[in-house]
Structure 1
Amino acid sequence: MLEFLPKLSITDVLDIVVVSAILYWILLSLSKTRVVQVLIGLLFLLVLGVVAKLLHLYTLSFLFNGVITVGTFGLIVIFQPEIRRLLAKFGESRFGILSADEESERIIEEIVRAAAVMSEDRIGALIVIEREIDVDNYIESGTVLDAKVSKELLITIFWPGTPLHDGAVVVKKNRIYKAGAFLPLTLNPNLPQTVGTRHRAAIGISEETDAVTVVVSEETGAISVSYSGKLIKDIDPQKLKKVLTGLLIRTPQKDNRFRFLKRKFHEENL
């Protein structure tokens, strides 16, 4: 009864499963971008082309073939940022970028403490933490500092009236690399009008790179975090520390617990 069905080997099944998983992951990654709208348009053109061939509409088929040929190269150029982000996401390290040493933990602590103070005093701030992808190609101007990350320095940079307070601070290789940098703004049309320039810049750099960005609102003092084109709004310092640790620290949680127990044992034997 089922003799007309093709016989599938284990290799064929594995091949189908792998391809399906890859296609699902790609569509899921692109589901909230403008690429989906274009894919729907291409699907419509594909259906139109098939209908034109079936009905022997030669002129329409000729135009359709020309659009497909030119459009393939055009899509690569138009959606270069989306393709780059997709590949960057695929190659992203599972446990973050910072090594799980005391310096990395200190940097996160300093950023959290600075964000807490600036949130209470309603000082606007924008802090970009570079991960795997170099952010130099996506930021404009900025003053090179190459300074140690500290709560006091961050607050001083963003203090109203200082020359560098309007731009972003870029943390690179455990150092404050630049201050007063300008970031690309997101072009996401789905964001509400209430999202300000700092938040749009934070989302913009996280769309182009795998950087993590901390934002403090000058109007409300609310703390937000942006990564992978997403924005987590209105979080407290404790939640901020947890999010940054989860995104930036490479070592699994069990190593953190071991380090905590080791430190505790050392303190008890002093």
Structure 2
Amino acid sequence: MTEIFKLIRWQDVVDILVIYYVVYRLLSLLYGTRAMQLVKGLLVIGILATSARLLNLETISWFMGQILNITVIAVPIVFQPELRKVLEELGRGNIWKRHKAQKRAETIAGEISKALIYMKGQRIGALLVLQRGTGLKDFWRTAIELNADITQELLISIFWVNNPLHDGAVILDQSKIIAAGCYLPLTEDSDLSRWIGTRHRAGLGVTEVSDAISLIVSEERGEVSLAINGHLSRNLKDDQVHKLLVHYFSGEDTEQQSFLDTLRDEIKSLGS
């Protein structure tokens, strides 16, 4: 072992670290796109081809080689939009910015997730509204404006029983808590169960007049519900809430269609 370490130069270590860093950043940029599925497929083909060579399976090795040759030609044609986007991001340096944005999104999502878990465990009712393209100033300009950092402790304290603000909603954007004690329009859906309370009806109502997202904590049932586009999904799992929050705070909902597709997929998985 000592002899092996003697053969390793410091330049070799630098080479490995740089390649690792570049590959990691590229994969981060491709994550969530069609091209990421291609990368996974290429890894599987590479593993099969290597295994076939080690086992001297000549026919399989030849077949896998042909597939790789075809793939090299097909990839630039089929995935031209994704590849162009990667090169543009590299040219602007946005690949590094995106990594920072993702880390920030994970941090904020973690703060909100922990607050929601605590509140549902303690049966503390809460209503959080995530502002998107449609401004919600009509609902928060008469409330208590905060412009505060998003922290677990602040969210819990706002909704703590006997706090003067606990009955209203908290409105957030992708950077801060805008206001607390906000009163929202109730849903006009007459088909809702009579067991659905005022907090849920308000959370649903704001999504009928805007593109906002509502997260509601039920003090009676100790569960978190999601409202979006006038649709209510109850009893979300903790990891589902966290994923949705990461998508929101990473700015991925600026590409509205892909963000809504993600939300729909998460909502559909609630019943599984």
Q: TM-score, normalised by structure 1?
A: 0.53
Number of the residue aligned with 2:134? 133
2 CA distance for matches of 1:184 and 1:130? 15
Number of the residue aligned with 1:203? 204
What RMSD, in angstroms, separates the aligned Cα atoms of the two structures?
2.0
Question: By how many angstroms is 1:238 displaced?
Answer: 1.2
2 CA distance for matches of 1:244 and 1:225? 11
Answer whether contact 1:111 1:150 (CA < 8 A) is retained.
Answer: yes
Question: By how many angstroms is 1:128 displaced?
Answer: 0.6
Change (3 A) 1:234 1:151: same
2 CA distance for matches of 1:190 and 1:251? 33
Number of the residue aligned with 1:215? 216
2 CA distance for matches of 1:244 and 1:147? 18
Answer whether contact 2:174 2:251 (CA < 8 A) is retained.
Answer: no
2 CA distance for matches of 1:224 and 1:114? 14
Number of the residue aligned with 2:191? 190
Q: Deviations over 1:27-80 (max 9, x none)?
A: xxxxxxxxxxxxxxxxxxxxxxxxxxxxxxxxxxxxxxxxxxxxxxxxxxxxxx
Answer whether contact 2:129 2:172 (CA < 8 A) is retained.
Answer: yes
SS at match of 2:235: strand
1 CA distance for matches of 2:146 and 2:232? 28
2 CA distance for matches of 1:161 and 1:132? 33
Task: In structure 2, give the amino acid aligned to 1:150.
Answer: T
SS at match of 1:110: helix
2 CA distance for matches of 1:201 and 1:140? 17
Task: In structure 2, give the amino acid aligned to 1:178.
Answer: A
Structure with bigger RCO (C-alpha 8 Å, 6+ apart)? 1
Q: Deviations over 1:137-196 (max 9, x none)?
A: 245731011110000100000000111111011112411110111011001111111111
Q: TM-score, normalised by structure 2?
A: 0.53
2 CA distance for matches of 1:160 and 1:221? 15
SS at match of 2:124: coil
2 CA distance for matches of 1:119 and 1:173? 23
SS at match of 2:216: strand
Structure 2 unaligned residues grouped into runs of 5+: 1-99, 254-272
Identity within the alignment, %: 38
Structure 1 unaligned residues grouped into runs of 5+: 1-98, 253-270
Number of the residue aligned with 1:93? none
More helix by share: 2
Aligned: 1:152 with 2:153: yes
Task: In structure 1, give the amino acid aligned to 2:104.
Answer: E
Question: By how many angstroms is 1:104 displaced?
Answer: 2.6
Q: Deviations over 1:79-136 (max 9, x none)?
A: xxxxxxxxxxxxxxxxxxxx94332332222111100000000000001110111011
2 CA distance for matches of 1:213 and 1:223? 10
SS at match of 1:166: coil
1 CA distance for matches of 2:101 and 2:191? 37
